[in-house]
Amino acid sequence: MASYQIDQRGGHYDDLRAGTIASMLANINRDSKVKREPFGTLDFIPWNEVHQVEADEVKPVLLDDPDAQSELLLSMMFPNKAA
């Protein structure tokens, strides 16, 4: 990514190539009744500039009780683990 930021070529294009292949495979196996819009290349590159706007809008969930915060973290990381 550092190389891309300097000279605007390199790893970013590799990511686009990989995203193109991933979107092609996803569209081949896509159920058009469930997802009517086809997948795009940038749908598979979450660190791309297009997705940064969405990431900036996400706010963390912070609870006042430390034990409740720990329970929340564990339930999100291990949803099938019984307490």
Residue 83 within a domain: no
Residue 16 within a domain: yes
Give the pLDDT of residue 65: 94
Domain of residue 12 covers 2-77
Q: How many structural domains is the chain composed of? A: 1
How is residue 11 written in tokens? 């790893």
Residue 45 within a domain: yes
Cα–Cα distance measured from residue 11 to residue 1, given in angstroms and rounded to the nearest whole number: 6
- The predicted model scores a pTM of 0.46
Residue 62 within a domain: yes
Give the pLDDT of residue 14: 79
Residue 57 within a domain: yes
Instruction: Dump pLDDT digits (tens) for 21-70.
Output: 999 999 998 888 888 899 888 888 877 666 555 555 667 888 999 999 99
* pLDDT winner (highest mean) among 1-5, 47-51, 78-82: 78-82
CB 11 within 8 A of CB 4: yes
